[in-house]
């Protein structure tokens, strides 16, 4: 489990592509600490498992299903990525409950710069819109954000980013058309499942 509070921004050091999988190597400073091989690390919001590590690098295996369902396949050597280690039971839950199970790929559709904020619009898969509401939570590239506005007809959500979020994540580096990983609130999905199944 994760919180959606990004702890570091790293970059893609190498990509080794196979027929139906890939090995990604990432470089990041002052982040890996006491992590071990087998630990979960959220990369742009996708929960991945470290298969090797040094003081400043780690590698992950990415299977075909993950490549198909996330925006990780669009990464290139040098791409910047948001990183978060799995939450400890003793940690404060400052964001919201994030599983690292990406629900779909969205796209940056608008950017508006303010004096001390940045508005970003994302077009997301239509089937995910029902899980979102204004002032509710959404995870974009692993970052816990508050939904500011919804446009159901356009399948679009808008968020406002404060300088701290822009400084600590890769969101401020995104351009219109960039692909992003979207994870909706897991509680909304559980409620939907319970209501559908009822007492069957």
pLDDT, one tens digit for every residue, the chain (200 residues) = 899 999 999 999 999 998 888 999 999 999 999 899 999 999 999 999 999 999 999 999 999 999 999 999 999 999 999 999 998 877 777 788 899 999 999 999 999 998 889 999 999 999 999 999 999 999 999 999 999 999 999 999 999 999 999 999 999 999 999 999 999 999 888 888 888 887 66
In a domain, 1, yes or no: no
CA distance 131 to 136: 9
In a domain, 150, yes or no: yes
For residues 73 and 102, is the Cβ–Cβ distance under 8 A? no
Q: Are residues 76 and 21 in the same domain?
A: yes
Look at the chain and report how many structural domains it folds into.
Answer: 2
In a domain, 186, yes or no: yes
Q: Are residues 127 and 168 in the same domain?
A: yes
CA distance 167 to 66: 28
CA distance 67 to 16: 13
Looking at residue 199, what is its pLDDT?
A: 62
Q: Are residues 76 and 143 in the same domain?
A: no
Q: Name the strands in the sheet holding 143-146, side by side, starting at the edge strand that comes first in the sequence.
A: 143-146, 137-140, 179-184, 104-113, 118-123, 156-161, 149-151
Containing 107, the helix (H) or strand (E) segment is strand 104-113
In a domain, 90, yes or no: no
> Residue 182 maps to which CATH number?
2.40.30.20
Q: Are residues 64 and 111 in the same domain?
A: no
CA distance 195 to 197: 6
In a domain, 74, yes or no: yes
Q: Are residues 12 and 43 in the same domain?
A: yes
Q: Are residues 22 and 81 in the same domain?
A: yes
Q: Are residues 113 and 69 in the same domain?
A: no
Residue 94, classed as helix, strand or coil, is coil
In a domain, 94, yes or no: no
Domain limits at 26?
Answer: 8-85
Q: Are residues 39 and 111 in the same domain?
A: no
CB-based contacts of 40, cutoff 8 Å, min separation 6? 47, 48, 49, 50, 85, 86, 100
Looking at residue 95, what is its pLDDT?
A: 80
Looking at residue 90, what is its pLDDT?
A: 75
């Amino acid at each position: 489990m994760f919180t959606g509070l990004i702890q570091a921004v790293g970059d893609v050091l190498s990509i080794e592509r196979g027929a139906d999988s890939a090995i990604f190597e990432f470089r990041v400073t002052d982040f890996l600490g006491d992590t071990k091989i087998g630990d979960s690390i959220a990369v742009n919001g996708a929960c991945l498992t470290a298969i090797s590590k040094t003081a400043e690098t780690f590698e992950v295996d990415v299977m075909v299903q993950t490549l198909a369902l996330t925006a990780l396949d669009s990464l290139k050597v040098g791409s910047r990525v948001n990183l978060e280690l799995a939450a400890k039971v003793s940690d404060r839950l400052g964001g919201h409950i994030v599983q690292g199970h990406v629900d779909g790929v969205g796209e940056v559709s608008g950017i508006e710069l303010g004096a001390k904020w940045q508005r970003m619009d994302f077009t997301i898969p239509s089937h995910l819109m029902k899980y979102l509401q204004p002032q509710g939570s959404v995870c974009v590239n692993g970052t816990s954000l508050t939904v500011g506005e919804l446009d159901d007809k356009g399948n679009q959500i808008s968020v406002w980013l404060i300088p701290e979020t822009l400084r600590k994540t890769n969101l401020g580096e995104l351009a219109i058309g960039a692909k992003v990983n979207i994870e909706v609130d897991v509680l909304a999905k559980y409620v939907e499942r319970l209501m559908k199944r009822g007492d069957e």
